[in-house]
Structure 1
């Protein structure tokens, strides 16, 4: 596509005392891998007093057009953006905060989505670095329930249709309001993880900004009046009372919260009027008020993201068993990966049921497909997949699990930057599902999202039970070449057995970020049967581990044991040891250290 046929885009930036940020923001836009003559920049200044406008008056613009609009007073974020949108000349409105810098590929990624997505997609949200917004989104469809206006692109026609940002919201929560009104009008919102923006709104983790703190709370309550019901409003007040009566977030916060409580009554009228006028439509809107949030959160809000310095080949091994409609979602989650140097090894245990789907719908992926023709079992199928890998790193993905788009990127980055580790694992959601149908497409109901394991690496705990779901782990192929793959004598818990064997060779790096989902049956009877099968397998695998562990260097578990010992009283009696929630095998290990190593134990 030549420059003349590239779609135009308007970048709208609202400034208020933004002198220290705006130059870098504009420079990042100018370095974009998108024709600068197709980019228009509209800056709306909310009466800055730090020289922002004077700096912009002297700016030598490389863009197709550049406008600076001065407001005589601070009109607020939403209203200023609406003014900018009125001066826009294209269908693509890219709202961008001044304290940001976009990645060079960000605009091209946004425009690719604009050209290829359906007309029902009205908003595209960028992925923020170094701290990604922690809200949940669908890792397959990439749909989200609301989007941050710090960096997002909106169809101008849809934006105009709903009346733009609500100008009754001065600052904060106007993006939630915009998102919900777009959805109320039949539009969808999409997360674009391949479009990266560096957002410097936080100087670091655990930093509370008073303006953000107060306005987020005030407008959360007002949004409850606008979109919620009486229970939502009352819960909001209860949360506010808890904040006021609790520990101060920062000096003077209690007084500020009391002021918010009084002032918000003067602002509630337009929110109630809107609700009355849209009462029927509101019944169809699925909106959430989760304390002060609007969507469930993924761990961690303040994980520091960075791109990997190198991009070695990663092999993804998928075992499937005649379930193409289920496999499809796993493959889409791989297509969505922000890391591109991937090969996918698919082993179908049995007949070639999924082959046609794979080569019809996923020709864009680097897939190697193998069918065993006859059923050979999970472990043999997994080992066949391992034999076919070529990557420096290997990761498993069962056909009914999915990755979030940054999963491989995050694990590769951590392993490449921590060469002492040969394996790394992250956090995942466990999601009970009720399958409604599987043909022609899978349809299921997600009951909830749970984080079962967020355990930092501890070898002794790993000997006792598995806290590393299979899809969360990435390991260097050196481990496979030296120690082999799955034990083909096992029917279940083969991944746990593999992790224990690998842990005798290397420590595992724990990455405290949620990057995947594994699904479990919601039906109570199915779960009971599953539990019984796993419990039987648990005992047999533990018997195997006894011989394996005692044949290894006992010194490797000293530090982990010390961690456990330090969590109990300094002088531990035999009776206390018996109460520690480990099997008798691990009580024997504790007894060993009681008598041979640690003087903390009482004889």
Structure 2
């Protein structure tokens, strides 16, 4: 029997975390499934709700908001299962998730991670559910994106098994693979933390695959608001940071050039009263933070270039067009 630790990171999620934890408690599996709840210093009733929903869960209190990246890493450090399942606090497991993901993961010794199928919780007016993610892709300009985003559920049935990266909202990871590449980077805080880990897994020679039968239902963007200054700043910064660390040179150059041009355009628009000053400021701050991180990120790039199990052409083949 394989031990599976389901790590759920929570911050002020009293509205949703109960449903999430109850879905894990009710989940039936041939493996030993344990819950590790990481609470990022919530100020609402999250811990009360969690205790009622999953009284047997291990609770890690960080004492501060470490973001998703730091919270996940705290949960991994506090657990010792053979497999770590990541589950967003605003997602619920569908029957069969654990067994399908673990079977795929342990079926091949080269697999470092299995990414699940995330479906949006609320269906369309015609009753059809839309896909949130079947894994992560990287574009030629360094953008990370959810594969099959907003496609109808049935349209994603033929998605290739192999995918560049895992979606941190619902994935199963081999403990030895996490140990091999160092787990999640807490400095990323929010966004691109799963892309960062996926790059390291790939460069270390681990494969990542998608498992359709490992399904969750997800309330997309419940914890953070798309387009908010936090969202814009973190996405701007972390896209550049992660590209600089691992991506092919052409991708790095496109990512930086596009961000510099975007920063200038937004600044001009805001000064003329034609655009949001908050958005312009958030992009500018994200760019400045990425510039400040360049020495560290270039050192990381040199280190992973020396270690990489992929040729330059193999690395380029991971980029979506």
Shorter-normalised TM range: 0.7 to 0.9
- Within 2, Cα distance between the matches of 1:249 and 1:172? 24
Deviation sequence 1:101-128 (CA, Å, 0-9, x none): 111221221133234x210011011101
Aligned counterpart, 1:48: 42
Residue 233 of structure 2 contacts residue 285 of structure 2 at CA under 8 Å; is this kept in 1? no
Aligned counterpart, 1:127: 117
Judging changes above 3 Å, is the alpha-carbon distance between structure 1 residues 257 and 66 closer, same or farther for their aligned structure 2 residues?
A: same
Judging changes above 3 Å, is the alpha-carbon distance between structure 1 residues 284 and 23 closer, same or farther for their aligned structure 2 residues?
A: same
Q: Structure 1 residue 80 and structure 2 residue 71: aligned? A: yes
Normalized against structure 1, the TM-score is what?
A: 0.43
- Within 2, Cα distance between the matches of 1:128 and 1:12? 16
Which of 253, 262, 265 is equivalent to 2:279? Answer: 253
Which of 86, 95, 98 is equivalent to 1:104? Answer: 95
Report 1:397-436 matches (<5 A). none
RMSD of Structure 2 on Structure 1 (CA): 2.9
Which of 20, 23, 29 is equivalent to 1:28? Answer: 23
The alpha carbon displacement at 1:280 in A equals 2.9
Which of 299, 303, 306 is equivalent to 1:273? Answer: 299
Alignment gaps of 5+ in structure 1: 1-5, 297-447, 449-603
Deviation sequence 1:467-524 (CA, Å, 0-9, x none): xxxxxxxxxxxxxxxxxxxxxxxxxxxxxxxxxxxxxxxxxxxxxxxxxxxxxxxxxx
Aligned counterpart, 1:554: none
Residue 45 of structure 1 contacts residue 69 of structure 1 at CA under 8 Å; is this kept in 2? yes
User: Looking at CA atoms only, which structure, 1 or 2, has the larger radius of gyration?
Assistant: 1
Deviation sequence 1:413-460 (CA, Å, 0-9, x none): xxxxxxxxxxxxxxxxxxxxxxxxxxxxxxxxxxx7xxxxxxxxxxxx
Aligned counterpart, 2:252: 233
Residue 248 of structure 2 contacts residue 316 of structure 2 at CA under 8 Å; is this kept in 1? no
| SS class of match (1:17) | coil
Judging changes above 3 Å, is the alpha-carbon distance between structure 1 residues 295 and 271 closer, same or farther for their aligned structure 2 residues?
A: same
The alpha carbon displacement at 1:156 in A equals 0.4
Aligned counterpart, 1:17: 12
Residue 29 of structure 1 contacts residue 104 of structure 1 at CA under 8 Å; is this kept in 2? no
Aligned counterpart, 2:262: 243
- Within 1, Cα distance between the matches of 2:185 and 2:58? 23
Count of matched residue positions in the alignment of Structure 1 and Structure 2: 281
The alpha carbon displacement at 1:75 in A equals 1.8
Q: Structure 1 residue 284 and structure 2 residue 311: aligned? A: yes
Residue 166 of structure 2 contacts residue 208 of structure 2 at CA under 8 Å; is this kept in 1? yes
| SS class of match (2:16) | helix
- Within 2, Cα distance between the matches of 1:78 and 1:197? 20
- Within 1, Cα distance between the matches of 2:169 and 2:246? 22
The alpha carbon displacement at 1:82 in A equals 1.6
Which of 49, 66, 70 is equivalent to 2:57? Answer: 66
Report 1:145-294 matches (<5 A). 145-202=164-221, 208-228=227-247, 231-244=250-263, 245-246=265-266, 252-282=278-308, 284=311, 286-287=314-315
- Within 1, Cα distance between the matches of 2:102 and 2:15? 29
The alpha carbon displacement at 1:27 in A equals 1.3
Judging changes above 3 Å, is the alpha-carbon distance between structure 1 residues 83 and 207 closer, same or farther for their aligned structure 2 residues?
A: closer
- Tell me which moved more, 52-61 or 100-109: 52-61
| SS class of match (1:33) | coil
| SS class of match (2:212) | strand
- Within 1, Cα distance between the matches of 2:168 and 2:192? 9
The alpha carbon displacement at 1:265 in A equals 2.2
Judging changes above 3 Å, is the alpha-carbon distance between structure 1 residues 278 and 163 closer, same or farther for their aligned structure 2 residues?
A: same
